[in-house]
Amino acid sequence: MQGAKNNIYTVSRLNGEVRQILEVQLGKIWLNGEISNFSSPSSGHWYLTLKDHSSQIRCAMFKGRNQTVSFKPINGQQVLVKGAISVYEPRGDYQLLIESMLPAGDGLLAQQFDALKMKLAAEGLFAADTKRPLPKNIQRIGVITSPTGAAIRDVLHVLARRDPSIEVIIYPTQVQGETAAQSICQAINIANQRLEVDVLLLTRGGGSLEDLWCFNSEALAHTIYNSALPVVSAVGHEVDTTISDYVADIRAPTPSAGAELLSQDSDNKAQKLATALSRLQQSAKHYQLKQERRLSLLEHRLQRQDPKRTLQQFEQSFDEMQLRLESALSNRLHLLSRRQQLLASRLEQQSPKHKLTIEGNRLSYLASRLQDALQDKLSQSEQRIKYAAHQLETVSPLATLSRGYSITTDIHNQVVDSADKLTIGDSLQTRLRHGQVISTVTQIKLLE
């Protein structure tokens, strides 16, 4: 009797332990039933009873939870709810604390959605390391959607506004109904066979869970996962979530958001053109300075080497340098012209003619200045070469001979500059302006 007294419960203790057992053992459950005794007091909480043909259970759904329900419950309505069993200790009543509520039909779909989501996640189809990055410079977008729906109109409108140079290829498909999932898979496979686009945009407008159910297909999930092309999923409204959103490389909340994600503002392209022009100017200036330093080095070498041979080498190098400079300028101008034509074609629908005219005039002006500077530099270099040649000719021994002087050497080619170094009978060679004379010493006279 003494031991039994130690196990005597109070009512509060009993209700508390029952609550703990129910919450731990059952956890979160799904429950299907008919609504009765529904009430919504000023607190914003919902209180109701769920029943079937033979039993009933009290339920509560607090304000923070019921604000996510997309419909207003009514008595007699069949619903599917998810919640946790608990005990209302003051009365000793057990009840279900509802976390989410769906109409019975949508509720079954929600259960299937959760089951498929868990299965595909376990298979690794949602893993972050399998997501592919979007291409940096998107030129063609493949849109997989209904060709007559609102989604394609939104996508085309956004792309025309942001970047009309992007080409759109539509792969028409069903986006609702029993055969829609198979139709979408076929469209994705066709796009992967052709490989004519940079990225795929899978999209449609909003709708009910049943309307969007084709995007929760397991076959479609594997098709997206195995696609060689990156896939962006933009299905429904921002609150809608489908299996395709989880499998795709990137999820966009709406069709318009998907189009914005895949396009660049045309103003950014104009800025890139200005940057390219600036880089070209810097490159041309650097190349010119490099050639000027090389020219100075060649001039220095000319002064230290044999005049005639060095002059010939310098003239040849000068010609090569001129050809390279002209070729480099021509190639740069040709490349810039091609880039300008390409960008002009892409921006034609937005008619940025004023910007292109300004940049074209600026390019012509810079090209003219560069050409004039090149010609001036070449003329200056030619004058310096002529002057150096004249200076070399002035100090040349041949120039001295041309003024009537001669150079006499002995048989060892040593210059004879004094008669006291000679003896009778020595042979001498005398170099004149035209030819030389061989002589023999017969008499020596020394000047006092």
Residue 185's identity, in one-letter code, is C
Rg of the chain, C-alpha, whole Å: 47
> Quick one: 23 exposed, middle or buried, by C-beta within 10 A (0-12, 13-18, 19+)?
middle
- φ, ψ of residue 273 in degrees (nearest 5): -65, -45
Confidence check: pLDDT of 447 > 80 = no
pLDDT tier at 358 (50, 70, 90 boundaries)? confident
Q: How far apart are CA 222 and CA 358, in angstroms?
A: 52
Work out the angle at residue 262's Cα, subtended by the Cα atoms of residues 276 and 227, and round it to the nearest 5 degrees.
Answer: 120
Partnered with residue 32 across adjacent β-strands are 80
Which whole-number Å values give the CA distances from 267 to 159, 336, 352, 353, 360, in the listed order? 14, 19, 10, 13, 17
Specify the pTM: 0.45
Q: How far apart are CA 213 and CA 398, in angstroms?
A: 102
Q: Parallel, antiparallel, or unpaired: how do β-strands 140-145 and 78-88 relate? A: unpaired
Give the whole-number percent of the chain exceeding pLDDT 90: 31
Q: What is the DSSP secondary structure assignment for residue 135, as one 8-state letter?
A: P
266 touches 162 (CB < 8 A)? yes
Three-state DSSP at 89 gives coil
Confidence check: pLDDT of 316 > 90 = no
- φ, ψ of residue 434 in degrees (nearest 5): -120, 100
Which whole-number Å values give the CA distances from 327 to 33, 84, 107, 168, 369, in the listed order? 84, 80, 73, 39, 17
**Lowest mean pLDDT segment, chosen from 195-204, 295-304, 312-321:** 312-321
Q: Minimal CA–CA distance to 58: which of 35, 26, 27? A: 35
| pLDDT confidence of residue 195 | 94
List, for residues 126-144, the tens digit of each pLDDT value: 999 999 999 888 999 999 9
As a whole number, the mean pLDDT across the chain is 83
Which whole-number Å values give the CA distances from 388 to 300, 307, 319, 402, in the listed order? 11, 9, 17, 20
Confidence check: pLDDT of 59 > 60 = yes
